[in-house]
Structure 1
Amino acid sequence: MPKPRTRRVPVRMSRPTGTGSWLRQLHFSAFSLVMMGVLVLAVIVLAPTVQAFLSQRQQIADQQRAVDQLAAQVDTLKDQRARWNDPSYLRAQARDRLYYVMPGETSYLVIDDRPPAAKQDTTPVSSKLQKTQTDWVGSLFGSFMGAGLTDATPQQLSGDGGAGSTPAPTPTPNPAPKK
């Protein structure tokens, strides 16, 4: 008996959307798995070596910068040495720094050549620090001499002399020795 003919109609299947669709289309072979294993092993083996290489390159760059700075300093010092070998520069430095004069010249040294307005600068240095208007050396000397020439006890000097503080006694002259 003959089979009835059926007609096949192509059915279009919808593709699922999303991130999982591309994963289903991947097919791993043994070779691709071995190659991925070799790649991971290479990264594990080479990572410390690459890190050491980069660290050494950084150290080399730092040392090169230090060498460049020292070379610039050497050039500056060579220039200074060349200037000091020049007799006119040496003579000028002796005049400026040591106040030397040539034979027959007269040297005048001005101590304070600022005008009087510039000498009296009363602006405070900062809001917290102020210039003291007292003579601290004179105060210290007076305190030292007062403490050395008095016969008062320390309690009387500090004002803690009890209920009534007595004034500090004045030193009396020693009587003249009898002959």
Structure 2
Amino acid sequence: MARRQRTQKVPVALPSMESAPEQWLRNIRLSGFTFVMLGLIILAVIVLAPSLRLVIEQQQQLAELTTAVEQQKEAVADLESNVDRWSDPAYIEAQARDRLKYVFPGDFTYSVKGDGSELTTTDGAPISTEIQTTEVDWVHTVVSSLFTAGLTDDTAAELESPQVPVP
């Protein structure tokens, strides 16, 4: 009988059909320690989540109360300045004149009644409450005035405006 020849097995690298993430996942070895640690992390999140929520709510309340305290401090400062003003006799006198219409003996006061809507100009036209644009180019007027004043040979009396009386 003929002896059979022994064949040796030689490892051959085959082209991989798996992607990199699949190879990475295949190489992960999970042990008991890994499961215990994951369980502890999940337990810690479950136990600490309500406490963290409470801390965040308290921080928000603290911020709101701090702004309220600052507003109250500003209000107190305003009231203190108001008290200081009322300690001044001139301020008290002005308030009595304005609010209560008090006058000193011998003084005359005039009260204007109405809202002023019936007021008119000197020629009888009603006074407008709207902003009106001018029809004069003021830049041109200013520049021409400068050139006129700088380049004229007239005297100051000759340059006076006819609307302003010369003393």
Partner of 1:61: 63
Consecutive unaligned residues of structure 1, counting only runs of 5 or more, are 119-179
Following superposition of structure 1 onto structure 2, how do residues 1-179 of structure 1 map, counting pairs within 5 Å? 3=5, 6=8, 8=10, 10-17=12-19, 19-112=21-114, 114=116, 115-116=119-120, 117=126
Query: What letter matches 2:73 in structure 1?
Result: A
Distance 1:10 1:20, change over 3 A: closer
Cα deviation, 1:93-128, whole Å, max 9, x if unaligned, reads 11111111122212222223731436xxxxxxxxxx
TM-score, normalised by the number of residues in structure 2: 0.61
Instruction: Measure, in 2, the Cα distance between the counterparts of 1:80 and 1:19.
Output: 74
Distance 1:36 1:17, change over 3 A: same
**3-state SS in 2 of match to 1:28:** coil
Query: What letter matches 2:111 in structure 1?
Result: L
Does 1 or 2 have the higher relative contact order (CA < 8 Å, sep 6+)? Answer: 1
Query: What letter matches 2:43 in structure 1?
Result: L
Instruction: Measure, in 1, the Cα distance between the counterparts of 2:115 and 2:28.
Output: 93
How many residue pairs match? The answer is: 119
Instruction: Measure, in 2, the Cα distance between the counterparts of 1:18 and 1:7.
Output: 28
Residue 64 (structure 1) shift: 1.0
Give % identity.
Answer: 38
**3-state SS in 2 of match to 1:103:** coil
Distance 1:33 1:7, change over 3 A: closer
Residue 5 (structure 1) shift: 6.3
